[in-house]
């Protein structure tokens, strides 16, 4: 079976996202979290040049704790906002930062020297206090002690949990995108005779999959408490699923709280 076929088989279909919509107000759909242990990564920094990676291979140690410690010791820290993860590329793999990434985001392009079917291109680890939670669609929620703090998506590759680290595997070039800010702007106004909150999502929030479905409502409610009600969360989830590219997501607190199927049938605007 080809690497592309495996990725298709492993990824959750759009129906999974629809099913998850009904429970988004209570949490995301996940396959589990990586364990964390006490360890300290290198000082966080945004990568500034293409790197061939350190000489040890990311998969050298079979022991989960030792492998995580190796990534934290030998890898490169990359930071979005206050969130820092550490990545280790196998020898021969280039990891190039995208200088055009949105503010506060970190986006890398990784490519093996010799593209091969399902090749390991990057190993990711979280420092103490953070967990990496892989969702059914391969997006990743970065969790802190008080909840989700960032999200990560990979384009052109798969994400797999391997003990206490995550592996990014690809047949060739892949893009890794870490973001800690999902709401670009908020503005209250009037719509259909009532209050309406126009939410401008970040670029990452539009493509962040199930990780974005969990992270956006948390950050939105933190910025605007009135957006934390059941009806506002339901409208938000509906827009995330059905209108990710819409310029703004308009949410109205006066709309009734309905179940997910009714919300979708009403095109996110129940009356």
- Tens digit of each residue's pLDDT (9 = 90 or more) over 195-213: 999 999 999 999 999 999 9
Percentage of residues in the chain having pLDDT higher than 70: 77
Any idea what DSSP says for residue 250?
A: E
The values of phi and psi at residue 43, to 5°, are -55, 130
> 80-112 pLDDT, tens per residue?
999 999 999 999 898 899 999 998 999 999 998
Do residues 158 and 5 make contact, with C-beta atoms less than 8 angstroms apart? no
Q: Which two tokens stand for residue 1?
A: 């079976």
* Beta pairing partners, 32: 134
d(C-alpha 3, C-alpha 11), whole Å: 12
Whether 249 has a pLDDT exceeding 70, the answer reads yes
Give the contacts of 8 (CB within 8 A, at least 6 positions apart).
none
Predicted local confidence at residue 28, as pLDDT: 40
The values of phi and psi at residue 236, to 5°, are -60, -50
DSSP string, 161-197: EETTEEEEEESS-EEEEEES--EEEEEEEEETTEEEE
Do residues 256 and 271 make contact, with C-beta atoms less than 8 angstroms apart? yes
* Angle of CA points 178, 181, 220, to nearest 5°: 135
Do residues 1 and 10 make contact, with C-beta atoms less than 8 angstroms apart? no
Domain ranges of the chain: 3-179, 183-265
d(C-alpha 154, C-alpha 152), whole Å: 7
Mean per-residue pLDDT for 149-163? 96
d(C-alpha 205, C-alpha 84), whole Å: 19
pTM beyond 0.95: no
Predicted local confidence at residue 24, as pLDDT: 42
């Amino acid at each position: 079976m080809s690497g592309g076929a495996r990725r298709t088989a492993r990824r959750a279909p759009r129906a999974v996202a629809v099913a998850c919509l009904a429970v988004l107000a209570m949490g995301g759909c996940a396959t589990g979290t990586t364990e964390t242990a006490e360890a300290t990564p290198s000082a966080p920094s945004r990568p500034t040049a293409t790197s061939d990676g350190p000489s040890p291979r990311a998969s050298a140690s079979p022991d989960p704790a030792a492998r995580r410690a190796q990534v934290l010791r030998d890898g490169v820290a990359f930071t979005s906002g206050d969130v820092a993860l550490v990545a280790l590329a196998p020898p021969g793999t280039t990891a190039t930062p995208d200088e055009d990434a949105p503010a506060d985001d970190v986006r890398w392009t990784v490519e093996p020297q010799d593209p091969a079917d399902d090749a390991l291109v990057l190993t990711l680890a979280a420092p103490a206090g953070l967990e990496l939670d892989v969702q059914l669609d391969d997006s990743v929620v970065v969790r802190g002690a008080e909840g989700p703090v960032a999200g990560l998506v990979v384009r052109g590759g798969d994400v797999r949990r391997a003990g206490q680290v995550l592996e990014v595997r690809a047949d060739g070039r892949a893009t890794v995108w870490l973001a800690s800010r999902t709401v670009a702007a908020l503005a209250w106004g009037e719509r259909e005779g009532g209050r309406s909150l126009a939410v401008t999502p970040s670029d990452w929030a539009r493509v962040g999959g199930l990780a974005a479905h969990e992270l956006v409502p948390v950050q939105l409610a933190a910025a605007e408490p009135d957006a934390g009600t059941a009806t506002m969360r339901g409208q938000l989830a509906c827009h995330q699923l059905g209108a990710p590219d819409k310029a703004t997501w308009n949410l109205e607190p006066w709309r009734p709280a309905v179940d997910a199927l009714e919300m979708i049938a009403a095109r996110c605007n129940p009356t």
